[in-house]
Amino acid sequence: MSEKLTPETDLTKPVTPVSRQGKTSSRVIEHFVAPLEETPLAAIDNVDETAAPLSLWADAWRNLRRQPLFIISALLIVLVLVVAFVPHLFASVDPTSCTLNDSSEGARAGHPFGFTLQGCDVYSRMIYGTRASLLVGVLTTLGVLVVGGTMGALAGYYGGWIDTVLARLADIFFALPLILGAIVMMQLPAFRDNRSVWTVVITLVIFGWPQIARITRGAVIENRNADFVTASKALGLSRFNALVRHVIPNSLAPIIVVASISLGTFIVAEATLSFLGIGLPDTVMSWGNDIAAAQPQVRNNPGVLLWPAAALSVTVLSFIMLGDALRDALDPKARKR
């Protein structure tokens, strides 16, 4: 028999078991009791149960503020936006003022990046080219959200033949690569003869909406049978109003993540089309046009190509980093991993 435990027994001391014959056993069983301050009970007791629970967006913002990845990407994106809206604050030289006497000249006072083959200031063109490249990315993302988000929400919420038709239509466009489809579309007379920001945006929207549609459809299917949707219908709300007021707002998290990453993809797509000579016209300053115009100088003056390419890379990387930070903040499962 072992020793009997009484309220006065000190559990921190070893217990010496006694055998049935009354002899003391040589085996010592040690019992350890952890101090209360080292247990999770102390942290649980410190939780304020009277505080209102945080919403998904409030909880996401609290986590985003602690992520260096989000802070760095947000600062870079804010800088790009400021440069796009007020480029004259960063460049005092007129980017259209080109002098052949300065052709392929190197850096000097007031011209830190040198000159192009036509004698244009590289730094000024890089600053002023931000607006067109960013404008194409933002407008394309908004168009893709409207077209793809609408089709994905209708397909996921109503199902049936609507889901079948829209899903097969999305599969057709999803099978076409974005750049390849845009190249073919931009060769049509209506687009080739009227090249502008809007033609590039329309082309990219036509071939870029299926991804958003699929993400939206999956998110809507996940939320359409939730308890709050059933309760809203029981209170007399129509199916369409329940979709607009409850299902779509609660399905925005994955859509926003994909949209932020896709924005960088569309900026690269515009630069690729402009580099191939079928995107924005030469009269529009953009990073893609500057990279294309710098090809003859790659060996003798590589900086002419390097600087707009670096601006393009930093901008795209910023949006990708922002998308990763948003995914970690809006996806509780990702945070646990």
Percent of the chain topping pLDDT 90: 32
Cα-Cα-Cα-Cα dihedral of 281, 286, 292, 297, to 10°?
A: 130
Take residue 249 and report the two structure tokens written for it.
Answer: 């707002």
85-90: average pLDDT: 91
pLDDT at 223 over 50: yes
Contact between residue 14 and residue 28 where contact means Cβ atoms under 8 Å apart? yes
Contact between residue 173 and residue 206 where contact means Cβ atoms under 8 Å apart? yes
What pLDDT is recorded for position 5?
47
All structural domains of the chain, each given as residue ranges with its CATH number in brackets, are 1-35 (no CATH), 56-336 (1.10.3720.10)
pLDDT in tens, 5-43: 454 555 455 555 555 555 555 555 666 666 656 665 555
Q: What's phi and psi for 182, nearest 5 deg?
A: -65, -35
Distance from C-alpha of 208 to C-alpha of 177, rounded to nearest angstrom: 9
pLDDT at 206 over 90: yes
What pLDDT is recorded for position 215?
92
pLDDT in tens, 244-272: 888 888 888 889 889 998 999 999 999 99
103-112: average pLDDT: 81
Helix ranges (H only) for the chain are 41-45, 56-64, 68-85, 122-158, 160-174, 178-186, 189-192, 197-223, 227-234, 239-242, 252-275, 287-293, 303-330, 332-336
Distance from C-alpha of 70 to C-alpha of 58, rounded to nearest angstrom: 15
pLDDT at 238 over 80: yes
Percent of the chain topping pLDDT 70: 81
For 188, other C-beta atoms within 10 Å of its C-beta total: 11
pLDDT in tens, 152-183: 999 999 988 988 998 889 888 888 889 999 99
Strand partners, 121: 115
- Measured in whole angstroms, the distance separating CA 61 from the mean position of its chain's CA atoms is 15
User: b/e per residue, 89-124, with b = 16+ CB within 10 A?
Assistant: eebeeebeebeeebeeeeeeeebebbbbbeebbbbb
What pLDDT is recorded for position 198?
93
Identity of the residue numbered 57: W
Distance from C-alpha of 283 to C-alpha of 293, rounded to nearest angstrom: 12
Distance from C-alpha of 216 to C-alpha of 223, rounded to nearest angstrom: 11
The DSSP code sequence of 267-327 is HHHHHHHHHTTSSS-TTS--HHHHHHHTGGGTTT-THHHHHHHHHHHHHHHHHHHHHHHHH
Residue with tokens 């390849």: 180
Which pLDDT band, with edges at 50, 70 and 90, does 103 fall under? confident
More confident residue, 76 or 334: 76
pLDDT at 322 over 80: yes
